Structure 1
Amino acid sequence: MSTVSNPETVSTSVLIIGAGGAGLRTSIELAEQGVDCLVLGKRAHGDAHTIWAAGGINASLGSLDPEDRWEIHAADTLDEGHFVNDPTAVETLCKRAPDRIRELAEWGMDFDRTDEGKINQRYFGAQSFRRTCFVGDRTGQALMDTLVQKAMDLEVPYRENLYITDLMVEGGQAAGAVGFDMDAGRPVAFDADAVVIAAGGHTSLYRRSSSRTDENTGDAQALAFNAGVPLRDMEFVQFHPTGKVKPEAEAGHLVTEAVRGEGGRLYNTEGERFMERYSPTQMELDARDVVARANEQEIREGRGTEDDAVLLDISHRDDDYIHDRLPRMVEEFAEHGIDITEEPMEVAPTAHYAMGGIEVDFETAQTQVDGLYAVGECTAGVHGANRLGGNSLIETVVFGQVAGNHIAETLGSRTSPSLSDAAVRDHVATQDTLAAAEGGHTPAEIMDRLRDLMWQHAGILRDEDGLLNGLGKLQRLRADAEDLQVQADRTSRRYERAQNLRFMFTTAETILRGALERKESRGAHARTDYEAKDPDLRKNIRSLPTGDGGMEIGMEAAGRPSRRVQQAVDEDHELDYHHLE
């Protein structure tokens, strides 16, 4: 093990932390407007969680259902979010989505097309119309390929395998960031006039998750919180209804909603199509929280498989249709001896998406720290209490463009502070201390215990006793983490996991405390001791940094939609599931 006391220093106008859809679309906007920027990725270029969003991307194009319009898309988003969404975020998303889709098509994204040549659209859960554009069941990969190529055409600078550990804020303004090169093992300090956080969510805090093990560990949320930015709605974690249960190495990996969007049916081991009991109108395409809780209930009541799963069956569809619309699912299950054209898939709920996150002004994508922006899953507001399927990918490109445009318009008038050499040295010394730690608990052990804690106490079903017990366990686990055994340099996975733990503890506390404060069931937040939705709690719960490392919990009323969107809400549109039969 070695430590390096002198960091590499890099200067750029705009530093973008995160190289998925949100970070890349921000960089593209900046490059097109002539602004210097640098994109940082934790992994190899093009390898981001965006590629795992398989099923589709939403926009009210009306390719198949011409009566669809952006106001109905907004109404669906608010309804799915149980009306604690940020109305400005929702309206901005839905108004701008069609232009962003057309732009992606112009840049070469090969959307599936109708016989008439229009961008094809499929059903997704809780959508009133067929609104989800797609590229088979690899839409996220196609989006990333398109954005990576566009960024390369614009010669956007990029550094891969770079881990950011701390944001630098001077006098209430963003000044840059400090991290380390995961290949060279050297600390790096970035001096920037503006910083964009686009580093994803935090579902890897859970034992079963659609995230890869060492990603989506709450880096973005904790970085912002530690820099003095409030977090919002952290109790709202989406559990996707259909995650894999085997092989063990892939447990929790997503079985795309496109399977249900193309007519997939859920059965228990008694042969019952059980969604008829839970949602006879919308069936398998009801809201994700509804279907996830139904799957969990069937499993808990003993009607699941030996692997604690239910059965998802698409085999009634024509074989060629399945191969055309769901090629990735066909391939993935075939690797393990399952032919989904002939037999069902075993699935169970999995932690999938973080609705809560960093507070931003959605007209600019800026946080309350001047010059610090946040985009994508790391933010809170678009999705409210539950995300509408297909809205995650469109969020990245809509608000990436918003952030890039605002930075380009204001950067010239902003006076940015310089990095403090003393502060950089302090952060690097902290890295050295962590790398040299000689305690009795490994980072992997602590992470396993934390994930079990979160699944047990802040999972699909919650109650006050469980949440309080979870907070108590978290405090004791933090104490154990003070006695961490690292003894590894910055190039090691052990050191990376030790850094992850710093973020995971902060983010886990905000989830547990927010869930304890919200004494109702709303969307993805289900309290067995408060099973009804409380109309007086149409509010947002805020996790507020106190400045001394502490946290306070606050609450404020959620905003109201515009007259046009409220009219669409009142029209009470609803998907007719039986079009699929």
Structure 2
Amino acid sequence: MTLARKDFETDVLIVGGGAAATMAAFECAEAGVRVIQATKGRATSGTTTVARGGFAAAMGKDDSPEQHLAEVLEHGGELINPELAAVWTADIVEVVNDMRRWGAEFILDDNGELDLKIFPGHSHARAVHHFDTTGNMVTKALSKKLRADNRIEKHSLTSIVDLVKDGPRVTGAWGVDYKTGTLVAYAAKEVILCTGGGSGLFYVNDNPPQVTGDGYVLGFRAGAPLLGIEMIDFQAMCCSPEELFGFAPHPTGFINAGAVFRNQEGEEFLKRYYPDTAEQSTRAEVILAMAREIHAGRAGLTGGIFMDATQVPKETILKQIPHVYKTCLHRGIDISETPLEVAPGSHTWLGGLEIDIDGKTPVAGLWAAGETAGGIHGGNRIGGSALSASLVFGRRAGRAAAASINEAPPPASIPDDASAWLEELVNREEGLLFADMRLRCRMLAHEKLGSIREAGPCAEAIAEYERMERDDIPLMRLSPEAQHSDKARGQDLENALSVKNLALLGKLLAMAALKREESRGAHFRLDFPETDDANWRAVTRLESAPNGGIDFQADMVT
């Protein structure tokens, strides 16, 4: 079977469908350049909906971007690029005002002013919000504006397989329209990667299923450095009851509401780890304490600890975390009466591709924003930072990429043989089923690369991911239905392509986690439990080597 092919040419190709990608698309459209937005899901899909409690912006009368910046840097494990953090904390104020003009429904107080929440790690109430469904509200506002903008060409249900280069410059990309199983090729002067993070690598996560680290892998293979990829924001996710498995009930919201965390013995264990600041514990601190309790054998029957809001007045729960309450109640659990058993699951990734303040990577023609970009959050991010930074850098990358197209050479054509290995995959009748391999990738990360790490498991993960790349992926096959249905073939291709990316991403994560022989921020090594500023006050950097290997270095922070 030979795959049909469609070719497109544009000034800017944006890969991704969340807040960063959509903000970039708006800026390109305003600049009057041709823009195509290719998304694995529907338009304005992505991880934006995962954001719940709000996002940070210094909108209060007694607050300032400078104070916001100081607190971001304080909690970043000394690994944040201060130039990136400075433009983010300054620009987000303007972005919030723009979004209000677009009709974003932020909650207001009795005086008609923004109702601002205070999150752990912040000295001021600065989280704009729509109760605990902020991500859904932002997605709705962006989606409405996107639908009304006919200048943006939208290609949904399209998975980008690889970038194309002409010498040192990225000149486009190619992939699969998995509605039909058709090969699509894009020639573009500038490409912006906004594909979210890599949480789909882990068996337990709260991200949409299409989030598989594509931007990290695409950029890495094209020559862009990956910074701090070992830093992952794990969050409390339900492991019991079964009806709530994988649901992330927003621990920051629980803490704000007055809930406590208990181990199997009933102890409020956060007070043991952080005796003076338990109520203001950051997300990373809560997850580390949870993971250590579980590792020490003080977990419940299904391997988690207990998030207990039974002593919190129901009216407070309904005000602070109504979405969590209603979601749990819909599945048969009243959190005002029953604690939730939770364990760490992958929520957001803090590292990513190296960028400057406009989202430009060191590779000509290639940009990144949102969770795909690195250097913004360092070793830890305080609550309300992910969506805030995504909105800012999506806008900056779109604006700067649009301004750069007049300096770019005409885009090169996509090679005719780009799809050769895809056609082999489609036509293979024997081999390893892609679904089994994807599960193996995810379980390997879950078991060996989670919130508590050691040298042995990290090395074992590297070896197994390398074996899968060498022995299994070349023999991967689609399901039998793919031979007879365009729709089944397209869906199988999209999922099979994620296996190739997950295996490489897992290897990169394991290497960075193994090399960093200390504990800092969101990265905890059981065999190196202390922070080592002398040797590891540094940002890890992974680059693709000319021989196909991986070059590692640690950039010391001065």
**TM-score, length-scaled by structure 2:** 0.94
1:180 touches 1:186 (CA, 8 Å); kept in 2? Answer: yes
- Confirm whether residue 389 of structure 1 aligns to residue 370 of structure 2: no
Of residues 521, 529, 532 in structure 2, which corresponds to 1:531?
529
Query: Does the 8 Å contact 2:468/2:503 carry over to 1?
Result: no
Pair 1:210 & 2:201 matched: no
**Counterpart for residue 369 of structure 1:** 363
Counterpart of 1:201, as a letter, is: G
- Residue 471 of structure 1 deviates from its aligned partner by 1.5
Kept after mapping to 1: 8 A contact 2:41/2:210: no
Q: Distance in 2 between matches of 1:175 and 1:55?
A: 39
The aligned counterpart of 1:126 is: 121
- Could you tell me which residue of structure 1 aligns to residue 438 of structure 2? 447
Tell me, in whole angstroms, the C-alpha distance in 1 between the residues paired with 2:313 and 2:396: 42
One-letter code of the match for 1:255? P
Structure 2 gap segments, 5+ residues each = none
Match for residue 78 of structure 2 among 80, 83, 87: 83
Determine the structure 2 residue equivalent to 1:404: 398
Query: What does residue 431 of structure 1 align with?
Result: 422
Is 1:482 matched up with 2:474? yes
Aligned to 2:499: 501
Residues 387-425 of structure 1: per-residue CA shift (max 9 Å, x gap): 2221111111101111122123222232233214xx2x2
Deviation digits for residues 520-571 of structure 1 (CA, Å, limit 9, x no counterpart): 111111111111111121111111111342211122123x6xxxxxxxxxxx
Q: Name 1:99's counterpart in structure 2.
A: 94
Instruction: Tell me what 2:181 maps to.
Output: 185
Partner of 2:543: 544
Distance in 2 of aligned mates of 1:28 and 1:309 = 43
Instruction: Give 2:160's aligned residue.
Output: 164
Paired amino acid for 1:180: V
C-alpha contact (below 8 Å) 2:359/2:373 kept by paired residues: no
Between 1:272-281 and 1:161-170, the stretch displaced more is 272-281
Describe the SS at the equivalent of 2:551: strand
2:192 pairs with 1:200: no
Q: Which residue of 1 aligns with 2:449?
A: 458
Deviation larger for 509-518 or 44-53: 44-53
In 1: Cα distance, 2:467 partner to 2:399 partner:
45
- What CA distance in whole angstroms lies between the structure 1 residues aligned with 2:289 and 2:255? 15
CA drift at 1:308? 1.7
Residue 250 of structure 1 deviates from its aligned partner by: 4.8
CA contact (8 A) 1:7 1:428 kept: no
C-alpha contact (below 8 Å) 1:173/1:417 kept by paired residues: no
Q: Please give the per-residue CA displacement for 1:153-183, whole angstroms capped at 9, x wherever unaligned.
A: 3322212111110111112222111011111
Cα distance in 1, alignment partners of residues 242 and 467 from structure 2: 29
Q: Is residue 2:331 matched to residue 1:331?
A: no
Moved more, 246-255 or 89-98: 246-255
**Alignment partner, residue 105 of structure 2:** 110
CA contact (8 A) 1:252 1:351 kept: no
- Between 1:34-43 and 1:470-479, the stretch displaced more is 470-479
Distance 1:227 1:398, change over 3 A: same
Please say if 1:289 is aligned against 2:284.
yes
CA distance in 2 between counterparts of 1:452 and 1:178 reads: 29
Q: CA deviation at 1:189?
A: 0.6
- After superposition, give the CA deviation of every residue in 1:329-369 in whole Å (9 maximum; x if it has no partner): 122101221112333222221111111111111x2211112
Residues 130 and 440 (structure 1), Cα distance of their counterparts in 2 relative to 1, 3 Å cut? same
- 1:200 counterpart SS class: coil
Structure-2 residue corresponding to 1:245: 239
Structure 2 match to 1:269: 264
CA contact (8 A) 2:46 2:211 kept: no
Q: Hey, what's the Cα distance between the residues in 1 that align with 2:163 and 2:397?
A: 18
Q: Taking structure 1 as reference, are residues 491 and 282 closer, same or farther at Cα in structure 2, changes over 3 Å only?
A: farther
Identity fraction in percent: 29
* Counterpart Cα distance in 2 of 1:309 and 1:465: 24
AA aligned to 2:72 is T
Alpha-carbon separation, structure 2, partners of 1:207 and 1:51:
19
- Deviation, structure 1 residue 20: 0.4
Give the residue type in structure 2 aligned to 1:416. Answer: P
Q: Tell me if the contact between 1:268 and 1:274 (Cα under 8 Å) persists in the aligned partners.
A: yes
**Contact 1:173–1:416 at 8 Å: present in 2 too?**
no
The answer as to whether partners of 1:32 and 1:154 remain within 8 angstroms in 2 is no
How big is each residue's C-alpha offset from its partner over 1:438-495, in whole Å with a ceiling of 9 and x where there is no partner? 4432112112222222122211111112211222222233323332232536743332
Aligned to 1:19: 17
Q: Secondary structure at the match of 1:482?
A: helix
Deviations 1:71-119 (A, max 9, x none): 2222222222201111111111111111111211121111111222221
Displacement of 1:249: 6.6
The 2-side partners of 1:33 and 1:494 are apart by 37
Q: Any idea what the Cα deviations from partners look like across 1:236-294, whole Å, max 9, x if unmatched?
A: 11211x21114547523311232323332212233322211111222143122211121
Paired letter, 2:162: D
Q: Is the 8 A contact 2:171 2:411 kept in 1?
A: yes
CA distance, structure 2, for counterparts of residue 550 and residue 261 of structure 1: 46
SS at match of 2:160: strand
User: Could you give the per-residue CA deviations for residues 127-163 of structure 1, whole angstroms, max 9, x where no partner exists?
Assistant: 2222211101110111111111122233222121111
Q: Is the 8 A contact 2:350 2:371 kept in 1?
A: yes
Structure 1: segments with no counterpart, 5+ residues: 561-581
- In structure 2, the residue matched to 1:146 is 141
Aligned partners of 1:234, 1:407: CA distance in 2, in Å?
Answer: 25
Offset, 1:322:
2.4
State the distance in 2 between where 1:465 and 1:397 align. 39
Q: Which moved more, 1:316-325 or 1:108-117?
A: 316-325
CA distance in 2, matches of 1:472, 1:192: 37
Q: Give how far 1:227 is off.
A: 1.3
Task: Give 1:52's aligned residue.
Answer: 50
For residue 162 of structure 2, give the secondary structure of its aligned residue in structure 1. Answer: strand
Give the conservation status (yes or no) of the 8 Å contact 2:40–2:157: yes
3-state SS of the aligned residue for 2:32?
coil
CA-atom RMSD, angstroms? 1.9
Specify the SS of the correspondent of 2:505.
helix
Secondary structure of the residue aligned to 1:340 is coil
CA distance in 2, matches of 1:282, 1:481: 48
Alignment partner of 1:169: what SS? Answer: strand
Indicate how the Cα distance of structure 1 residues 247 and 441 shifts in structure 2: closer, same or farther if over 3 A, else same. farther
Output the CA distance in 2 between the equivalents of 1:200 and 1:125.
24
Report whether the alignment pairs 1:378 with 2:372.
yes
